[in-house]
Amino acid sequence: MDIFYAIKEPVSQAVTKIIGRGHRAIPSAHKGIFITLFFIIFTTVTGVGIVVPLLPIYAHDLGAAGIYVAMIFGAFSISRTFLLPLFGRLSDQKGRKPFIMAGLSTYVLVSLAFVWSESVEGLIFIRFIQGAGSAMIMPVVQAYVGEITPEGTEGYSMGLFNLSMFISLSLGPLMGGTILDLWSMDGAFICMAGLSLSGLVLCLIFLPPLSRERLHTRTREPVPLSMVVRDWELAGLVSFRYAYTSCIGIIWCFLPLFASGAFGLSGSKVGLLIMVGVFISGVLQLPMGYVADRFNKKFMIITGGLLSAVGIFLPFWAVSFTDLLVGVIVFGVGGGISMPAISALAVVKGDEKNAMGSVMSIMTVAHSMGMFTGSILAGLSMDFYSLSYAFPCGFLIMASGTVLFPLLYRRQRNLLRDSGY
C-alpha cells in the first residue's frame, strides 16, 4: 500500500502539470480556433480511418492482385505528393480557410463516390481525387496550428493537436471493422461522408473569415520554397518522417490481409490490431509533447525510431494474434515518443523560415511518399515472395531513417559553424 501511494503521488503531480500546461500552450484569443481545428481533424480522420483499413479487403474481394491493392493506396499518395507544395505555398499567401473548406468538400464527394464504385480501376481513380483533397487539409491545418503556437510550447501544442489524429485513427479502424461485421462496406463509406460533412460545417461556422485570419504580423518576406527544400535540418526531419510512414503504409495496407489470411482474424480483430498501435501513439502525444519542450528532441526522435524499427519487424516472427498485437504496440510506443518532437521541430523550422505552410507541406510530402513506398513494397512482396517479408523490409527502412536523421542534423550544424554562425 505504501508503494502504491509512493507511486501515485508523483504520477498525479506529473499529470496535473501536463494538463495545466495546456492553458498556457495556446493563447486565450486563439483557443477557439485551436479547438475548431482539433475537431475538424478528429471528425475527418475518424471517417477516413473507418474506411482505409477495409479497402485492401474490399479490393481483394473485387479480384485485385497485390500490386493493384498497393496502387489504391499509392494513387492517393501520388496526387497528394504533387499538390502538397502548391497548396502549402498558396495557403501561406492566400490564407488557410478556403483550402480547408475545399478539401473537406472533396472528401464528402469522394466518400459518396466509393459507394457507387464497382471496379478496382474506379477505386484507384477515387483515391487519386481523395489525395488532392487531403493535400488541401492536413498541411494547411497543421500550418494554422503552428502559426498560433507560442514559442517554447511547440512540443505540447503539436502533441495536443496530434492527439486528435491519433485518437480518431484508433477509433476509425475499430468502428470500420464493426460496421463491416454488422452492416456492409457501403455503410462504412456513408459514415465517412457524414463525418467529413461534420468537419466542413465546423470549418464554415467556427473558423474566422479570411479577412481576420492573418494571426501574425509578418515583418519579413517568406523564404523561397527552393531555399526551404535545401535546408539540411528539414531534410533530417523529412527522412525520419518518410521512414516512419513507410512502415505505417505496410501496416495499414497489408497487415489486414496478413492477419486475416495467415491467422483467420475477423474484421473486428483486424480493426483492433490497427487501433491499438495508433491509440497508444495517441495516448503518448500529450506527455511526450510536454517532455519535448523540456528535453532533447533529437534523442527522443532516435529512441522512438529504434522502437518503431523493432515493432515493424516483430510481425515477421508472429505465430498468433498476441504476437501481432505486441508488434503494433511497440511500434505505437515508438511513434508516440518521436512524433511530438518531430512536429515541434517542424514548427520551429516553419517559424524560422516564415513559411509554415511550405514546411508543413514538405513534411506531408514525406508522409505521402512513405505511405506510397510502404504500400508498393508490401504489394510486390505479396506478389513475388511472401507478404511476411514486407515487415523486415520495413525494419530496414525505419532503421535507415533513424540513422539518417542525426547525420543530416549534424551536417546542418557543421555548415553553420563553418560559416561563422
CA end-to-end span of the chain = 56
Closest C-alpha among 120, 48, 54, 47 to residue 80: 48
Among 171-175, 336-340, 372-376, whose mean pLDDT is lowest? 171-175
Domains of the chain, each with CATH number or no CATH: 26-209+225-418 (1.20.1250.20)
Q: What pLDDT is stored for residue 237 in this prediction?
A: 92
Give the C-alpha distances (Å, rounded to integers) separating 19 from 12, 23, 42, 133, 337.
11, 8, 20, 33, 18
Q: What pLDDT is stored for residue 214 in this prediction?
A: 58
How much is the pTM? 0.73
Q: Which three cell numbers stand for residue 277?
A: 498501435
Name the DSSP class of 207: S
Is the per-residue pLDDT at 25 higher than 80? no
Specify the higher pLDDT residue, 5 or 232: 232
Specify the higher pLDDT residue, 29 or 116: 116
Give residue-wise pLDDT tens across range 28-40.
667 888 888 988 8
Q: Is residue 176 very low, low, confident or very high in pLDDT (cuts 50, 70, 90)? A: confident
Q: What pLDDT is stored for residue 103 in this prediction?
A: 92
Is the per-residue pLDDT at 185 higher than 80? no
Q: Is residue 411 very low, low, confident or very high in pLDDT (cuts 50, 70, 90)? A: low
The mean per-residue pLDDT over the stretch 123-142 comes to 88
Q: Is residue 88 very low, low, confident or very high in pLDDT (cuts 50, 70, 90)? A: confident
Closest C-alpha among 212, 175, 267, 234 to residue 96: 212
Could you tell me if 415 and 239 are in contact, meaning their C-beta atoms sit under 8 angstroms apart? no
Q: What pLDDT is stored for residue 400 in this prediction?
A: 94
Q: Is residue 419 very low, low, confident or very high in pLDDT (cuts 50, 70, 90)? A: very low
The mean per-residue pLDDT over the stretch 406-418 comes to 61
